[in-house]
Amino acid sequence: YFLTFAAFQIPLGMLLDRYGPRRTESFLLLFAAAGAFIFALAPNTTMLIVGRGLIGFGVSACLMAAFKAFVLWFPAGRLPLVNGLQMAVGGLGALSATVPIETALAFTDWRGIFMALGTMTLVAAVILFTVVPDKKGEAEPSRMADQFGGVVQVMTSPLFWRIAPITFATQAAFLAIQSLWSGPWLRDVAGMGRDDVAFALMMIAAAMTVGFVLAGVVAERLGKRGIAPVAVAIVSMVGSMVMQLVLVLGLPIPPLVLWCLFALFGTNGILVYAGLSQTFPRHLAGRVITGMNLLVFVAGFSFQWGIGVIINQFAPVASGGYQPQAYTVAFGVVLVLEVLALLWMIFYRKGRLPLRV
C-alpha cells in the first residue's frame, strides 16, 4: 500500500496540474475499487498483495487532489482551514476503522467489509466525475517536458529542502507509530485488553479528527495576525516530538491522555502543505504537495518497517506480545531521527522559511 501510494506521487502531481483534480481522482478511484474487490475475493497471499497495491495506487490522489482543488477554489488565507476540514473527514475514516468495524465484524467477515468498501469507492468515483464542477484554470495543458521541468523546479528549491526533512520525519513517525504500533503498545506496555485497545484507538482517531480541525482554525486565526501556517506547523511538530519523548521516558501520564495529545500535535504537520501551496506558484501546487507527500510516505513505510526490525531484536514475551523495552528503543531511534531533522531545519540557511504572511 505505502509503496504503490508513494511511487505514484510525482506522476500524480503532474497529472493534477495538467488534467485537474476532478478527472485525475475519479479515474484513479476506479483502481482503488478494483483493488478492494480483488482483496475481498483473493484466494492467496499474492492476490492479497495485488489488491492492497491497487488500493494504494487508487487512493494516492485522494488527499492531494483535494488540496489541489482547494488551491483553485479558495483564497490562500483559507487554505489551512479547508485543508484541516478535509483531513478531519479523513479522520472520520480512521475513526470508522476502530469500534464500528469491530461491530460490523459481528455481521460479516473482512471480505464482506472490503466488498462494501469497493462498492462505496466506485460510487464515489462516479459522483466525483459527474457532479463536481470544473474550475477555470483547473487543467493547464503543457508539454511533458514543461511538466517535468516543474518537478525539477520544486525538488531543487532550497526552501523545499529546508522544511522537508522535519515534515517527512515527524509525519512519517506519526503515521508509522499511530497506524501500526499504537495498538500493540497499548496491549504490551499499558496492559490493555482487546476491547480497551479498540476503545482507545477510537479515542485516538477522534483526537486526530479534532486536531485537524483545530489546526486549521488556529492557523487561519493566526494568519490574520501575520503568522504563517508553516510557523504553526513547526511548533506542532516539536510538540509531537515532546509527546514521543514522554513515551520513550515512560513518564507517569495516563496512556490514553498521552496518545490523544500525540494525535493532536501529530496531525498539525499537514499545515506545511498549505504553507508551501501559498509560497510556490499556483500552477505548481500539485507537484509541490505530491513531492512532499512522496517523502512522507516513503519515510512512513521505512519507519514502520524499521520499528518492526528493532522490536523483533528483543525476545517476545510469553503471551505473544513484545517487551516494553523494545518499544522504548524503537520509538527512541525514531525520535533521534526527528531531532536531527529539526537541527537541519535550524542550521540549513539556504531557504528562507515562510514564517510570516
Mean pLDDT of 289-297: 88
- Closest C-alpha among 336, 306, 317, 314 to residue 241: 336
Mean pLDDT lowest for which of 222-231, 254-263, 279-288, 333-342?
279-288
- Closest C-alpha among 90, 341, 351 to residue 240: 341
* Residue 59 phi, psi dihedral angles, 5° rounding: -95, 5
DSSP state of 165: H
Q: Distance between CA atoms of 244 and 328, rounded to whole angstroms? A: 10
Task: Using CB atoms within 10 Å of the CB of residue 245, give its burial: 0 to 12 exposed, 13 to 18 middle, 19+ buried.
Answer: middle
- Closest C-alpha among 166, 168, 148 to residue 156: 148
Q: Distance between CA atoms of 239 and 259, rounded to whole angstroms? A: 12
Residue 34, pLDDT score: 98
The pLDDT mean for the chain works out to 90
| Whole-number Cα distances in Å, 60 to 90, 128, 141, 201, 208 | 13, 16, 22, 24, 20
Q: Distance between CA atoms of 148 and 259, rounded to whole angstroms? A: 41
- The residue ranking higher by pLDDT, 26 or 154, is 26
- Closest C-alpha among 298, 274, 305 to residue 64: 274
Residue 2, pLDDT score: 77
Q: Is the predicted pLDDT of residue 147 greater than 80, yes or no?
A: no
Residue 303, pLDDT score: 94
Residue 319, pLDDT score: 79
Mean pLDDT of 292-317: 91
pLDDT tens digits for range 186-215: 999 999 998 899 899 989 988 988 988 898
Give the three cell numbers for residue 236. 506542532
* Residue 356 phi, psi dihedral angles, 5° rounding: -125, 150
Residue 13 and residue 276 in contact, taking contact as beta carbons nearer than 8 Å: no
Q: Distance between CA atoms of 139 and 21, rounded to whole angstroms? A: 8
pLDDT tens digits for range 242-278: 999 999 999 999 999 999 999 999 988 888 988 888 7
Q: Provide, rounded to the nearest whole percent, the portion of the chain with pLDDT above 70.
A: 97
Domains and CATH numbers, the chain: 2-347 (1.20.1250.20)
- Predicted confidence band of residue 351 (pLDDT cuts 50, 70, 90): confident
What are residue 227's DSSP bridge partners?
356
Cell 493566526 found at: 222
Q: Provide, rounded to the nearest whole percent, the portion of the chain with pLDDT above 90.
A: 55
Mean pLDDT of 175-186: 91
Residue 53, pLDDT score: 95
| Whole-number Cα distances in Å, 310 to 326, 330, 336 | 7, 6, 14
Mean pLDDT lowest for which of 40-49, 81-90, 256-265, 275-284?
275-284
What DSSP string describes 277-324? HHHS-GGGHHHHHHHHHHHHHHHHHHHHHHHHHHHTTSPPPTTSS--H
Q: Distance between CA atoms of 90 and 4, rounded to whole angstroms? A: 19
- The residue ranking higher by pLDDT, 135 or 229, is 229
Q: Is the predicted pLDDT of residue 140 greater than 70, yes or no?
A: no
169-183 burial: b if 16+ Cβ within 10 Å, else e: bbbbbbbbbbeebbb
Mean pLDDT of 85-89: 87
Q: Is the predicted pLDDT of residue 48 greater than 60, yes or no?
A: yes
Residue 142, pLDDT score: 61
| Whole-number Cα distances in Å, 33 to 8, 89, 109, 188 | 17, 19, 18, 35
- Identify the helix (H) or strand (E) that includes residue 91: helix 79-96
Residue 285, pLDDT score: 81
Mean pLDDT of 286-290: 86
Q: Is the predicted pLDDT of residue 139 greater than 70, yes or no?
A: no
Q: Is the predicted pLDDT of residue 141 greater than 90, yes or no?
A: no
